[in-house]
Amino acid sequence: MTIGQFPFTRMRRIRMKSFARDLCRENVLTPKDLILPLFVLEGRGKTESIDSMPGVLRFTLDKLVSEAKKAHALGIPAVAIFPVVSKAKKSVDAKAAWDPKGLVPETVKALKKEIPSLGVITDIALDPYTTHGQDGLLDAEGEILNDETVEALVKQALCHAKAGADIVAPSDMMDGRIGAIREALETQGFKDTMILAYTAKYASSFYGPFRDAVGSKASLGKATKHSYQMDVGNSNEAMREIALDIDEGADMIMVKPGLPYLDIVRRARDNFQVPIFAYNVSGEYAMVKAAAANGWIDEKNVVLESLLSFKRAGAHAILTYHAMDAAKWLN
C-alpha cells in the first residue's frame, strides 16, 4: 500500500467540515463578477413585464436609472443596455442606431451623470433598428452585407462612445468590425473606450425570450441568423474568431450563450490571455424561472450553482438576468 491510496488518502477529509470546504474552494462567485442587462423603453414613468422572462422588466429611462442605482449599491460593477425601439423608428438602413438623441445615448448620458462609477456597456448591432430584425443591412436578395454593415456599426459605436459608454460591445458577428471600430475610436478621440467583442456568438435558439423583450421576433419572422452567427457544432472556429478579434483590438471577448457553451469558455480561457465574459442568455433564464415557478427546482441554489459554474469554466464576468437576485443572495 502506498500513501496515495486508500485509506491514507481520503478525499472526504477536506469535505467533512464547513470551514475546510471554505478554505479549499477553488472558485468563488461575488457580485463583482456580474453584469446586469437592462431593457430601456421610450417615454417616462413606465415599466413593462415580459411574459417569457418573469421578473425582468423593461424600464423607461427614469426608472432604469433607479434600477441601476440599486444594482450599483449591491456591488454589481456594470450594466448592459438594450433598447426597445418603437416601430416608427425602425428602418431598412437602421439610421436610428447612430442618432445622438436616440434612446441608448440618452440612457448612457443619464447613467454616467447619476452613477459615474457604474460601468456602462452598450450593444453594437442593428437588429433593434431594422424593420427586418437582422443585425446587418440587406442586399436585394436579402443577404447580409458585411462591409456596409461594418460602416454602420462604426457610426453606432462612435455615437455611444461620444455619449460616454465605457464599453461598446459588438454583438453582430460581421467580419472585420472590431478592427474598424477600434481604428475609429482611436483616431476620433476615444482611445480609452473598451471593446467587448461578442466573438463566439452562436446561432442559438436560446435567444427567443430576448427577441420578445426587444420586439425583434416579429420583425425577424421565419428568417434566421445562420449566415453570420456561428454554427452550433463548432469549437475550433471559435478559437479562430477569438484570435482575430484580439488581433483587431478587442479588450475582452464574449462567449454566448453561456451554460450550454462552457466548453468554449474553458478553451478560450486556456488559450488566450484576455478577460473572458460569458452571457447567461434569456432562454437559459426562462428555463430556470419556469422550473422554479413549478416548484421543480430550488431557484436560489440552482442560480448560484449555475453562476459559479461559469467561474469554474474560466469566465471572468457573467452577463445574467439573475444578477440582482444573485447579488442580493450573495450579500
Least distance (Å) from ligand PBG to the CB of residue 161? 18
Residue type at 328?
Answer: K
282 interacts with ligand PBG by CB under 6 A: yes
Q: Which of 286, 11, 173, 52 is nearest to 303 (CA)?
A: 286
Candidate segments 15-23, 121-129, 235-243, 302-310, binder of ligand PBG by CB under 6 A: 121-129
135 interacts with ligand PBG by CB under 6 A: yes
Cβ proximity to ligand PBG, 159 vs 188, nearer residue: 159
Binding residue for ligand PBG, selected from 134, 149, 156, 171, defined by CB under 6 A = 171
Least distance (Å) from ligand PBG to the CB of residue 110? 21
Binding residue for ligand PBG, selected from 65, 125, 265, 326, defined by CB under 6 A = 125
Binding residue for ligand PBG, selected from 109, 155, 211, 300, defined by CB under 6 A = 211
Candidate segments 39-47, 55-63, 180-188, 206-214, binder of ligand PBG by CB under 6 A: 206-214
- Count CA within 13 A, CB hemisphere, residue 30: 6
Neighbour tally for 84: CB within 10 Å = 19
281 interacts with ligand PBG by CB under 6 A: yes
Number of residues that bind ligand PBG (CB under 6 A): 11
Backbone conformation region of residue 133, classed left if phi is above 0, alpha if psi is from -120 to 50, else beta: left
Helical spans, DSSP H, in 26-145: 61-73, 103-114
Binding residue for ligand PBG, selected from 190, 207, 261, 277, defined by CB under 6 A = 207
Determine how β-strand 47-49 pairs with β-strand 57-60: antiparallel
Cβ proximity to ligand PBG, 184 vs 278, nearer residue: 278
Using a CB cutoff of 8 Å and minimum separation of 24, what contacts does 285-290 make? Answer: 285/53, 285/56, 285/209, 285/320, 285/321, 285/322, 286/52, 286/53, 286/54, 286/208, 286/209, 288/322, 289/53, 289/54, 289/55
**Residues at the site binding ligand PBG, with contacts judged by CB under 6 A:** 123, 125, 127, 135, 171, 207, 210-211, 225, 281-282
